[in-house]
Amino acid sequence: MPSINLLALVFFISLSANALAKDKSIFILANSNTKHHNTITQNIINNFADSDIRIKTSNNPETIGNYEHDLIITIGSKIAKQTLESTTTVTPVLSLLLPETVIDQISNKNNRPWSTQIIDQPLERQLLLVKHLLGKNSKVGVILGPTSIKNKSKIELAEKSTGMVINYREIKSPDELIPVLKEIITQNDILLAIPDPMVYSKRTIRGILLLTYRNKTPVIGFSKSYIKAGATAGIYSTTRQIAADATENIKNFFEMNKKFSSNTYYPQQFSVDINKRVARAMKLKIDSQDALSDLIKRK
Amino acid sequence: MKNWSIKERVLFVALLPTILITLSLASYFNYTQITNLERSLHERGELIAKQISTASEYGIFTSNTEILDHLSTQIINEIQDIVEINISDINGEILIIKKNPHSHNKTSDHESLINYLASQFITEDNISFYSTITTTEIEIDDYPEQSSKTTESSDSDVIGHIKLTLTNHLTREEQLVSLLKGITIPITGLILTIFFAIRISAGVISPIIKLTKAVNDIADNKLDAQLAIDSGGEIGSLERGFNKMSNEIRSSRKTLEKKIEQATSSLTKTLDELEIQNIELDIARNHALSASKIKSEFLANMSHEIRTPMNGVIGFTDLLSKTKINDQQKDYIRTIENSARNLLTIIDDILDFSKIESGKLRIEDISFDITEVMNDIATMFTPLAYNKNIEIISHPLSDKIPSLLIGDPTRLRQIIVNLVSNAIKFTENGLVSIRTKILEKTDDNINILFTIKDTGIGLNEESKQQLFKAFTQADSSISRRFGGTGLGLVICKNLIELMRGDIGFDSDTSTGSRFWFSIKFTTPEIQIHHETLTINNGKTALVYEELNEAMEATTIILKEMGLNIFTTQDHKLIPEIINNNKIDFLVLGINRTNIKNTELLDEISNLTNKIDNHLVIASTFSNIELQSILDTGIRNVIFRSSPKSLIKKKIHNIVCGLNEENQSENILKKTESSRDFSHVKALIVDDNEINLKLAHTILNNTSMQVTTANNGQDALDLCLLEYFDIILMDLHMPVMNGFKTIENLRSTINYCTKSIIIALTANATPEDKLKAFNAGVNDILIKPFNENQIFSILDHWLPYSKKPQHTATITSQSELPGCQLYNHKTAVTLAGGSEQLAYELLTMLIADLPNHKLKIEQAHKLNNTEELRQAVHKLHGGAKYCAAEELSSSAGKVENMIIKNNIADINLELNNLYEKIDNLISYYHNNKQRNSLK
């Protein structure tokens, strides 16, 4: 029994010593079962390995109360929602990997400082890719679902800012997808996929890609997987790039005395990817992928 | 399998495993192939359905029926056994049904035979396969928010359904082809195997067959059989070995034949010699047989020839003894008579032995009264035994032994006589007893044991071995001492064996001998029922007998009568027993040794004077001795040898107080000749003057009117002139023998057709007896005969000539109603006063009536007048002597009608005769019990 007490004392002293040495702490909440989440977490940890920021990770928002943190980082919509809606802490929260359309669906009950680093690429960045692929006069078709309809205004703004023709159609049920899709791809030069669970689910993607492929209509995807599945090209942020953006945002947070510089951060680092086999089938003449990527990043 | 040839065995061994393995493998592979084809069909169907579902995903997703139609058409064209493809969406709405336009005409490219077989044996069935069409999911794992939101239940993945219908026709065809191949190949293989097995086995079997044939040739004596050596290995060695063996056998055979020739030659010589010897032996045997036959004939003739003069010797000796002669002369006469009788016995023995040896002795099967036989024997031997002063006890027959038996009474009597005679001969003092015992009794048969016991000299062990051997006696000194031929027991043994019986003996030189024999007799259905005399009112008798055997014999009679018995063997105890007990009846036995014991006789006399109810049984046959007993005052005396029935009758009368005056005196009177045949006319026919004279003398003494004749013809002539009541006829005579004479007398017109004819013969074989009776004799008298025997015959056949009989046991008789049918009184009178005999005669007549009737009917039917007359005559005689008056009268009428040749009216009378026959039979059966037939 005395030996156990002695060990507990040593552990407490050790913790106290760390606390004194590193006064900045981050608590990362991520779903440990998701590969992307783990990768991002690990990259963040790695990025702060040599800093004085103490990082603690958990997959359970309920454990937040056990420690004091300077910043809570949530990865993914589900964790973010649980943290913001269920926990009582007032520690600032930075939510990573969050679609832009989801932000409105989460209520920040304690009114804590909350900033989001969204996953979606800015629409203009994607239109720029279209422009480089098909030219600025090409007509861009977009299908919006119940979730993505919120981007309707952004689409209209982007159309104006880029001068490109964007034809969008809204569907309210899955049955409308094929007829609308057929219509969109026959009327436009390219289909720009904006994430929406009803339109671009894992079940519909194959059909959409096959239909567009048969119709020789290129598709701009929103993730690497999409491009790999058959989309012609796409812009996306890799986990490393997301972690790097997050690292920057965290640093800014601490530099700004633990305040966020913005409520919403768009991906600063991104990748441009082209499915060359599909692109060849679509008879698209594309420069090298790196050159295209540099061109877009420069803009 | 045991009888299989080598070829069959080799083929069996070679082919059976091959056939079994081939069949097993063929079955297994065919089954596997057919199963695989079936499974392949199902797997292919499922695979095609799956492929169609995958290929249809896009068409369903885009609701593009053209794509689906194109897809289905393409698949149907590629896969021939698809009958139909049916694609429907998630809601079950059919998007397309594509049928294979050639599905019913599709046949494979196989041979026409297969098509024919397929059409005959294959039933086309369609098999449906179902598959769901699902969307192919593409995981967008780098945009997890997108994925997670679209997670739904797996059912939502289904976007349509595929129903694929395949025909199994092609598969069945393939299965059939496979099966045909699977059968054809093994069969081909088997045929080849059989072919090679036969070819290879032929190489082994053929030499063996040749070898077998050669061995058979050797066995069939074809010793030049040789084998061509065209095989190698062991078979080659065998062939060479066989040839060598064949040569050896041939060589041995030649050597053997040479030896046999030599031996045959020697044998032939020997056989010739033997043949000569055989011929000589045959001649010698014929001589011997001839000599033996001559000897037998000589013996028989000699016996006959000796008996005839002996008849004269004995007869006249007997007559001489009755004349006035002094004692010395009487002694000489007795010696002559004894010598003659001994000589006669010897002759009889030789004659019998001769018959037995030549197999000519026949055993009769006739009905006889055993009681009579046993009584006769007791009576016969009593004088002989008493003369030697030894007791003879004939134990009474058990009531359980039927009186009438079927057998040969003459031979039975001969056996017992022989054994009793021997017993008396070899016993100097003591007693001889005769017993009978039932060994076994059934409804139809009875096996009786006869025992003759004596207290004589007995037999030692050596003597026992010699017994029953011809011409030997127990001891050579016995011949000298006792005489005899030594044939007696041998004859007895042979007779008993002929009667299917057994004989044996126990003997000891200290106690005597016991000879026994058993014979099985048939018991006739109809029996004589002896009068049962019982005393039922609890009377008590005291029996005094000194000898155990005598006591036993006497008490048996008394017990049978129902008397209570006290016994004593000490006469001094009698008064005490009488004083202490209530004795109603006294039976006192005087045995042979005491017959002259005056002291005892006086004592008995005193006792009998005190007790009226008494009977003295005396062991004597002598009237003098009897008189001396009577002189002591004893009244009721009876001979010990008296029949049981007589003893019982006497006891009954004495105990019951019936009047039987001077009973003992009656016995004496019995011995007196008191016959009066003066009115009787007799004819004696004999070629032997001595016999003729003897018979004449005896008959003449009775005052009978006697006429003599020397042959049958003379007798016939006499009978044409006058009537004779009785004719004594010798059977063997010159000119005309007795048989022929009797036949003529019975069948021709003369005065004596109904006379009583007594045949006289010295050699009464059963055949002769039968022949004599068939000729029509009434009785037979065997030579040598004596006065008593003649009297006995006369008493029997001429009873009406006798004075009232003192021994008659006839009680009062009365005629029954219907006496015309059967007159009992007359019948008894005709039977010499013997009720038993009368009944027996009637029984015999009744038994013969059906035969009589049949013979009469047959003769009448055949119109054979002579036979008819003879048959009616016989019936007439029989009926008359049985006192069947109606039948006798009717038969007489018929006979007269025949004699007078009045055949025309005979039918009516014959019917009357038949009716009388039936009436008499019915009467007999209705009154079967003897008492009722009175």
The domain that holds B739 is classified in CATH as 3.40.50.2300
> A114 and A190 share a domain?
no
Record the tokens describing residue A83, joined without a space.
């943290």
Together in a domain, A182 and A224:
yes
B104 within domain boundaries: yes
Give residue B377's pLDDT. Answer: 87
- Verify that B92 and B117 share a domain, yes or no: yes
Are residues A110 and A8 part of one domain?
Answer: yes
Residues B45 and B178 in one domain: yes
pLDDT over 90 for what percent of chain A?
Answer: 42
Helix (H, G, I), strand (E, B) or coil at B715: helix
Which helix or strand (DSSP H or E) is residue A284 part of? none
Residues of B in contact with A229 (CB under 8 A): 138, 140
β pairing state of B126-134 and B158-167: antiparallel
Q: Both A170 and A216 in a single domain?
A: yes
Instruction: Locate the DSSP E strands across B580-675.
Output: 585-590, 614-618, 637-639
Q: Which residues of A touch B61 (CB under 8 A)?
A: 178, 206-207, 210-211
- Domain boundary at B670, B687, B711, which? B670
Domain boundary among B737, B761, B794: B794
- Pair A28, A143 in one domain: no
Chain B residues within 8 A of A209 when measuring between CB atoms: 138
For chain B, list residues with pLDDT below 70.
Answer: 1-2, 103-124, 144-156, 296, 300, 470-485, 528-531, 659-676, 763-767, 784, 799-820, 828-837, 881, 928-934
Phi and psi of B63, rounded to 5°? 55, 40
Assign B68 to helix, strand or coil.
helix
Residue A229 touches chain B, beta carbons under 8 Å: yes
For chain B, how big is the Rg over CA atoms in Å? 58
Nearest CA in chain A to B149: A197
Residues B864 and B934 in one domain: yes
Same domain, A27 and A140: no
Q: What are phi and psi of B249, to 5 degrees?
A: -60, -45
Indicate whether A113 and A128 sit together in one domain: no
Residues A19 and A115 in one domain: yes
Provide the domain count of chain B: 4
Does residue A121 belong to the interface with chain B, where contact is any CB pair within 8 Å? Answer: no
Q: Is residue B772 part of a domain?
A: yes
Interface test with B, best of A37, A206, A235, A242 (most B CBs within 10 A): A206
Asked, for residue B216, whether it belongs to a domain, the answer is no
A196-244 pLDDT, tens per residue?
988 988 888 888 998 999 899 999 999 888 898 889 999 999 999 999 9
- Summarised one tens digit per residue, pLDDT across range B65-89 is 888 888 888 888 888 888 889 999 8
Shared-domain flag, residues B549 and B660: yes
Question: Alpha carbon of A289 to those of A218, A286, B336: distances in Å?
Answer: 16, 8, 184
Cβ–Cβ below 8 Å for B61 and A207:
yes
pLDDT for B669: 44
Q: Angle at Cα B855 formed by Cα B850 and Cα B858, nearest 5°?
A: 120
**CA proximity to A217, closest of A184, A168, A195, A194:** A184
Residues A247, A156 share a domain: no
**pLDDT at site B920:** 85
Q: Same domain, yes or no, for A75 and A137?
A: no
Is residue B282 included in any domain, yes or no?
A: no
Is A178–B63 a contact, with Cβ atoms under 8 angstroms apart? Answer: yes
Distant-in-sequence contacts of B815-819, Cβ < 8 A, 24+ apart: B816/B934, B818/B923, B819/B885
For residue B514, list its beta bridge partners. Answer: B453, B506
Full residue range of the structural domain in which residue B711 is found: 673-794
Query: pLDDT by residue (tens digit) across B826-836?
Result: 776 666 556 66
Is any Cβ of chain A less than 8 angstroms from the Cβ of B145? yes
pLDDT over threshold 70, residue A41: yes
**Per-residue pLDDT reduced to its tens digit, A128-159:** 999 888 888 889 999 999 989 988 998 999 88
Any B CB within 8 A of A227 CB: no
Q: Does A154 touch chain B (CB under 8 A)?
A: no
Residues A52-92: tens digit of each pLDDT = 888 999 988 888 877 788 999 999 888 999 999 888 888 89
Do B829 and B787 lie in a common domain? no
CATH of the domain at B920: 1.20.120
d(CA A133, CA A135): 6
Q: Do both B689 and B790 map to the same domain?
A: yes
Task: Tell whether B882 and B870 lie within a shared domain.
Answer: yes
Residue A229 structural domain: 123-236+270-298
Q: Per the domain annotation, does B678 fall within a domain?
A: yes
pLDDT of residue B513: 93
Whole-angstrom distance, CA of residue B187 vs CA of residue B192? 8
Three-state secondary-structure class, residue A76: coil
Structure tokens at A284: 């698209």
**Is residue B301 one of the residues assigned to a domain?**
no
Q: Tell me the backbone φ, ψ of residue B713, rounded to 5 degrees.
A: -60, -45
Let me know whether B567 and B677 are in one domain.
Answer: no
CA distance A185 to B105: 46
Give CA–CA dist B144/B505, Å, rounded. Answer: 138
CB A119 to CB B145 under 8 A?
yes
Please indicate if any CB of chain B lies within 8 Å of the CB of A99: yes
A44 and A27 in a single domain? The answer is: yes
Q: Is residue B50 part of a domain?
A: yes
Specify the number of domains making up chain A. 2
Q: What ipTM was reported for this prediction? A: 0.73
Element (H, E) at A175: none
Which pLDDT value is given to residue B799? 60
| Residue A271, helix vs strand vs coil | strand
Could A202 and B143 be called an inter-chain contact, meaning their C-beta atoms sit closer than 8 Å?
no
CB contact residues (below 8 A), chain B span 60-79, against chain A: 61-63
Those residues with Cβ within 8 angstroms of residue B372's Cβ, 6 or more apart along the chain or in another chain: none
Task: CATH number of the domain at A66, please.
Answer: 3.40.50.2300
Domain match, B744 and B680 both: yes
Looking at the fold, whether B781 and B690 belong to one and the same domain comes out as yes
Q: Beta strand B82-89 with B94-99: parallel, antiparallel or unpaired?
A: antiparallel
Whether residue A290 sits in one domain with residue A184? yes
Q: Is B415 a member of any domain?
A: no
Question: In angstroms, what separates the C-alpha of B58 from chain A's closest C-alpha?
Answer: 6
What is the rounded end-to-end Cα distance, in angstroms, of chain B? 86
